[in-house]
Amino acid sequence: MGNPGLRILAAVAALAGCGGVTQPQAAIPIAGPDVMPHSPSLAIWMGFARGTAARPKLTYVSEFDATTVSAYTSDNRKNEAPVCQSGSVHDPEGIATDRFGNLYAAVGFSGFRGYGIATFAPSCGKAGPTFNEDLGLPEDPAVDGRTLYLTNLDNGSLPVTVLVYNIDAGSQPVGELTDPSAGEGLGVAVNSHHDLFWSTTNALTGHGQVIEFRKGRLPGRVLKATFMNSGFPGGVLFDKSDNLLFVVQASAPAIYIFAPPYDAPPASTISLKASAVYCTLSVDQRQIFCLDYSNGSVDAYAYPKGTYLYSYTSGIESSEDPIGIAVQ
């Protein structure tokens, strides 16, 4: 089975995926009444980390055709092999971590039990609760306190949606967000104000854009400053200054960086040596790692300067459709 994201993106460029990460520092209430309601159900919790004990700095990498998510020493200049692996997982796409170090991976559950989000305790720990997604193709998760967001790549019909889960309220989504301009959902990220940002294709043009949901609530608003006129969107992420980083897959792949309130032209641009769908900032935010799906490598750049630093390839195969990347 191939990567569903790949199939859609193939027209633009050969693609293997990855995943964006947001690590907000404060919890917020679950999305409010402006979110379309879903029927909640209880989840069973099994050893999920909720403490903030010191943890090794790791970079997780997912490959769509692999059955585990590999973790590397974060500053892996020596191209060392993965230090551990989380799994098993089935068809993983984008991945994210929360502030406790728990790993969230958009997956298809094994045995064709549907799609959703698989979770794992920090540092390749044991599996945690799962979150179900019954309608679309889960692409990328983001966590904001006890709220979990999941963008679908495709719902099978327009517009595509972001599902909203209450981590404490079971495996079913409690709401969903959408916008009539959303074509395909690629990435989600949350800034320090708990505003959700969603990278999508524009349903009419097919080009990239970012939609903002203030406080994670409807209605969404397209950030016109993020309109792209070519290429295909990738993920989104924030730095500690709340700058919005928008990954764009194009003939000249790049990360466009927008300063708050995200209505001005890009403050800067990082040119990537090869296309990636997702990138993630190191914990100290001095490096940004992008998962190069063409070459099967994690490419490290200085942040915010954007200078290319190094790559590592150990255990990553371009044929396995590398896609998600996140740090712990």
Partner 1 sequence: MKSFARLVALALLTGCAGAPPQLGPPMLLGQSVAPAKGGDLLYVTTPDETWIFTFPKGKFVGNFGVTGAQNPCSDRNGNVFIPQYGPDDIVEIAHGGEAPIATLDDTGEVPESCSSDPTTGNLAVANFGFASAPGNVAIYQNAQGTPALYSDSAIYYYWFCGYDDRGNLFVDGINHSGSPVFAELPRRGGTFRNITLNERIKKPGSVQWDGTYITITDERARAIDRVKVSGSRGTIVGTTMLDGWRTSRRGEQSWLQGGTAIVSPDAHNLRQIGFWPYPAGGNPTKIITGYFGGTFYVDGETVSVASGGQSWMSPTAKAIRELLYVSDWATDKVFVYNYATGSPVGTLAGFKEPFGQCVDKAGDVWIADYEGLAVVEYAHGGSKPMKRLTTDGFPVGCSIDPATGNLAVGNDAASGAGDIEIWKNASGSPADYSNEACYRLWQPGYDSAGNLYAEVETKHFARGVCEIPAGATSLATISTDATIDFPGGVMWDGKYITLSDQQALSTDGDITAIYQAKRTGSGLRIVGSTDLYLGCEHNYDVDVVAPFIVGTKNTPANNKQGTVVAGANVWCPSTFEYWAYPAGGRFSSELTAAPVEPYGQSVSISE
Does 308 engage in binding with partner 1 (CB under 8 A)?
A: no
User: Residue 71: which residues within 8 A CB-CB, separation 6 or more?
Assistant: 58, 59, 60, 61, 82, 83, 84, 85, 86, 123, 124, 328
Does 227 engage in binding with partner 1 (CB under 8 A)?
A: yes
User: Residue 237: which residues within 8 A CB-CB, separation 6 or more?
Assistant: 20, 21, 22, 187, 189, 245, 247, 279, 280, 281
Nearer to partner 1, 37 or 47 (CB): 37
Q: In the range 33-52, which residues lie near partner 1 by CB under 8 A?
A: 34, 36
Q: Which stretch binds partner 1 (CB under 8 A): 132-140, 252-260, 287-295, 308-316?
A: 252-260
Does 241 engage in binding with partner 1 (CB under 8 A)?
A: no
Pick from 170, 185, 266, 304 the residue near partner 1 by CB under 8 A: 266
Nearer to partner 1, 42 or 264 (CB): 264
Long-range CB contacts (within 8 A, 24+) of 49-54:
49/100, 49/101, 49/102, 49/121, 49/122, 49/125, 50/100, 51/100, 52/99, 52/100
* Strand duo 254-258 + 244-249: pairing: antiparallel
- From residue 160 to residue 199, the character string flagging contacts with partner 1 as x (rule: CB under 8 A) and all else as - is ------------------xxxx------------------
Residue 137 is which amino acid?
Answer: L
Pick from 193, 224, 240, 305 the residue near partner 1 by CB under 8 A: 224
**Interface with partner 1: number of residues (CB under 8 A):** 32
In the numeric block, the tokens 């730095």 are attached to 239
* Cα 273 from chain centre: 20
Does 265 engage in binding with partner 1 (CB under 8 A)?
A: yes
Does 261 engage in binding with partner 1 (CB under 8 A)?
A: yes
Pick from 159, 215, 273, 313 the residue near partner 1 by CB under 8 A: 159
Does 259 engage in binding with partner 1 (CB under 8 A)?
A: yes
Nearer to partner 1, 156 or 265 (CB): 265
- From residue 201 to residue 220, the character string flagging contacts with partner 1 as x (rule: CB under 8 A) and all else as - is -xxxx------------xxx
DSSP annotation of 229: S
How is the beta sheet containing 254-258 ordered, strand by strand?
Answer: 232-238, 244-249, 254-258, 268-271
SS3 label, residue 188: strand
Distance CA(32)–CA(184), nearest Å, equals 24
Residues at the site binding partner 1, with contacts judged by CB under 8 A: 34, 36, 159, 178-181, 202-205, 218-221, 223-230, 246, 256, 258-259, 261, 263-266
